A and B are shown apart, each in its own frame.
Chain A
């Protein structure tokens, strides 16, 4: 019971603190609008908000799918081809140490104001954690299993598919969780740098016109969306691992 009530208590408490803060500081609505004003904006501009949210959602989901897929491919590539490791690792480190935000203007320049530049942003952010996590999992195939496979005369590809990849799934799923949590950053940054639609665009636009209540409403929708996406991913991954009896990192 408490478990179900907890989120509502937290949200109510948060709204209450917000309202009290507005009341005490007497902040003007263009600095901190009251919760009610935000909900009003949410209600009045609901269609605009959902339209923009749809675009952002699409960017996030596409970015997540493409980024994860690329990450998995690179990890498999790294784990199976020895010389690939020496060549790809520096590239991976460079893509990660370079602030992705700095690349955003270039991506917009190359890929235009539309969807592709935002998806590319999200992909760049997601790619590294997925690759690193999955590769790490693939490298940690238990020594005893490697020995057994060798004695049994296992074909490397069959061993990869039937043993190493499944055993690496718990590691991959941590990577995917991180990816899902960071994917919205990519999409929003992309929209800030240059776009004509999406929640990031709407927020900048509203900010410029002093429609701070609309900005907050967009922020609210964005957080609900991000949290829902994360929790759904987390739930599905847990179900998958449970189905494969791989939860709690059981390997025997």
Chain B
């Protein structure tokens, strides 16, 4: 299945949360096979949008459509990674990565193979930790395990819900490079509140501004990701993004 076919079309999207209008006739086309970043301040509603894309908000509670380019639904083509690695503390790294088999009750040829999981974990530098439980791992290792789990799902669309915000600066930078490498050619939608992170990784950045988001300002950073954050051009773009973010009042 060619990954580039997985454009995500959001059309006439209306969403309210606790009597507050978050999205008001919002339309956006996210490019397939590219790294799309939704940038916005805390509480602006970017998480809600990501949840809607992931199918976690039932379509009955919002108006508008979120579909693939060919009009098909996205569910079943999506994997999801969050700030919390969501590893099960009683399972070791390998078992955690293969949890999808258990949850979908797959076995035999349908299941994700152990060998594939092991070789991916080895690539991610976790070879020596296969039998370790999450409590004994560092934050970065836990997030790498979560990344392995996400990748093994092998879906064309990957949604990232601020996956790096709980990591320390150096680990975060390492995770940026690693994630960028492994998610090449996937349709990535990442939300973040960090303009620098967005500039480092994004093919295209969409700035979401409340209240009642009606449209997103788009920015295509120069050069190809992952970018060097010391680049001067990038710093200029950083200023642009900061301005765009700060000329509205944050809601919370």
Q: Which of A145, A152, A166, A252 contacts B153 (CB under 8 A)?
A: A152
Q: Is the CB of A245 within 8 A of B102?
A: no
Q: Is B252 an interface residue (CB 8 A)?
A: no
CB contacts under 8 Å to B, within A147-166, are 147-155, 158-159, 162-163, 166
Q: Is the CB of B89 within 8 A of A252?
A: yes
Q: Is A82 an interface residue (CB 8 A)?
A: no
Note all chain B residues with C-beta closer than 8 A to A166: 88, 90
Q: Is the CB of B100 within 8 A of A152?
A: yes
Q: Is the CB of B103 within 8 A of A159?
A: yes
Note all chain A residues with C-beta closer than 8 A to B102: 158, 162
Q: How far is the CA of A149 from the CA of B100 in the complex (A)?
A: 9
Q: Is the CB of A153 within 8 A of B84?
A: no
Q: How far is the CA of A145 from the CA of B82 in the complex (A)?
A: 10
Given contacts A154-B103, A158-B104, A159-B103, contact A148 B90 (CB under 8 A): no
Q: Is the CB of B86 within 8 A of A252?
A: yes
Q: How far is the CA of A152 from the CA of B82 in the complex (A)?
A: 13
Interface residue total, chain A, C-beta cutoff 8 A: 25
Question: Using a Cβ cutoff of 8 Å, how many contacts connect chains A and B?
Answer: 73
Note all chain A residues with C-beta closer than 8 A to B82: 144, 147-148
Q: Is B199 an interface residue (CB 8 A)?
A: no
CB distance from A80 to the nearest CB of B (A): 16
A-binding segment of B73-81, B115-123, B241-249? B73-81
Note all chain A residues with C-beta closer than 8 A to B134: 245, 252
CB contacts under 8 Å to A, within B127-159, are 133-135, 142, 153, 159
Q: Which of A144, A162, A246, A252 contacts B103 (CB under 8 A)?
A: A162
Q: Is the CB of A148 within 8 A of B89?
A: no
Note all chain A residues with C-beta closer than 8 A to B153: 152
Q: How far is the CA of A243 from the CA of B133 in the complex (A)?
A: 11
Q: Is the CB of A244 within 8 A of B89?
A: yes
Note all chain B residues with C-beta closer than 8 A to A142: 86
Binary B-proximity of A237-252 (CB < 8 A = 1, otherwise 0): 0000001111000111
Chain A contact residues: helix, strand, loop or mixed: helix
Q: How far is the CA of A250 from the CA of B159 in the complex (A)?
A: 25
Given contacts A144-B84, A147-B54, A252-B84, contact A152 B89 (CB under 8 A): no
Chain A residue nearest in CB terms to B82? A144
Q: Is the CB of A147 within 8 A of B90?
A: no
Q: Is the CB of B103 within 8 A of A151?
A: no
Note all chain B residues with C-beta closer than 8 A to A153: 76, 103-104
Chain B residue nearest in CB terms to A148? B86
CB distance from B59 to the nearest CB of A (A): 14
Note all chain A residues with C-beta closer than 8 A to B84: 144, 252
Residue of A144, A152, A162, A246 ringed by the most chain B CB atoms within 10 A: A152
Q: Is B56 an interface residue (CB 8 A)?
A: yes
Note all chain B residues with C-beta closer than 8 A to A243: 90
Q: Is the CB of B89 within 8 A of A245?
A: yes
Given contacts A151-B78, A152-B153, A252-B84, contact A246 B90 (CB under 8 A): yes
Note all chain A residues with C-beta closer than 8 A to B90: 166, 243-246
Q: Is the CB of A158 within 8 A of B86?
A: no
Note all chain B residues with C-beta closer than 8 A to A155: 103-105
Q: Is the CB of A250 within 8 A of B54?
A: no
CB distance from B25 to the nearest CB of A (A): 26
Given contacts A152-B100, A158-B105, A245-B134, contact A147 B89 (CB under 8 A): no
Q: How far is the CA of A166 from the CA of B133 in the complex (A)?
A: 15
CB distance from B163 to the nearest CB of A (A): 12
Q: Is B85 an interface residue (CB 8 A)?
A: yes
A-B contact pairs, 24 of them (CB 8 A): A144-B86, A145-B86, A151-B54, A151-B78, A151-B79, A152-B79, A152-B80, A152-B99, A154-B103, A154-B104, A155-B103, A158-B103, A158-B104, A158-B105, A162-B88, A162-B102, A162-B103, A163-B103, A166-B88, A166-B90, A245-B90, A246-B89, A250-B89, A252-B142
Residues of A within 8 A of B (CB): 142, 144-145, 147-155, 158-159, 162-163, 166-167, 243-246, 250-252
A sample of 8 more A-B contacts (CB under 8 A), given A148-B86, A166-B88, is A152-B99, A152-B103, A154-B104, A162-B88, A162-B102, A162-B103, A163-B88, A252-B85
